[in-house]
Amino acid sequence: MNTLLLGVNIDHIATLRQARYPGMLDSPNCEPDLLAAAAICEKAGASGITTHLRADRRHIQDEDVYRLRKSLKTKMNLEMGNTPEIVEIALRVKPEDVCLVPENRREITTEGGLDAAGQLDALTPTVRRLNDAGIHVSLFIEPAFPQIDAAVKLHAHSVELHTGAFANTQGEAHAAELARIREAAAYAHERGLQVNAGHGINYVNIAEIREVPYLTELNIGHTIISRAIFAGLEAAVKELIAAMRG
């Protein structure tokens, strides 16, 4: 089994900053520093930094994306909805990876996977433009065969399997969700897609996720930032990487 890579999502650090300093990125008092947080995660062993530039700009701001693009030593994974404005920003920034996700202004965080199968016509030109720009395109989808088939039709490079249902269930339902993830990972791998996963993965359930075959990268944020409150950010990232490797 290949060594799992970790992309650290730093959106929640921006959430903390925006709670006190909205519209004040140039203020000398503006904290916490997103670039410093990203650098700490990289130093601790992260393979990349994930940010979600949402249409409502509730945490990550446009300037964050441009500044991170210049400062990162690893790679940028830009999560984004399929909206014209954000697509244009992605094409200007040219992150190594883009992950297309669903977006609902009322949600706290991304809830559920992108309906790629139901949005082929809308997604096709966006994926084509990103591909033409040399950007690795991923789709954040439910671990379901029709969604994986849609990713193949769209010429995406990878899929990120939504693990939220797995994380939020127990008992037989939890086991069934894990089996669904395993089956989807194998199905996607057989069709030439890189397989990533994310949402709700933490220091406990990582023991099950790390045994899923064909996974390349996990994108994780909330549990790391929560642990960092007590242990510090560098230690929190190192602890999770150690747990990923068993």
| Catalytic one of 79, 103, 142, 160 | 79
Distances (CA, A) of 163 to 35, 94, 202, 218, 222: 28, 27, 11, 10, 14
| Catalytic one of 52, 59, 157, 162 | 52
| Catalytic one of 42, 142, 199, 217 | 199
Place of tokens 């203020």: 27
**Do the bridges between strand 215-220 and strand 194-198 make them parallel or antiparallel, or are there none, so unpaired?**
parallel
Residue 183 is a catalytic residue: no
Rounded to whole angstroms, how far apart are CA atoms 194 and 238? 24
Nearest to residue 46, comparing CAs of 225, 173, 192, 229? 225
Residue 157 is a catalytic residue: no
Q: Which amino acid is at 137?
A: V
Rounded to whole angstroms, how far apart are CA atoms 16 and 3? 32
Rounded to whole angstroms, how far apart are CA atoms 240 and 118? 35
Residue 79 is a catalytic residue: yes
Residues marked as catalytic: 52, 79, 199
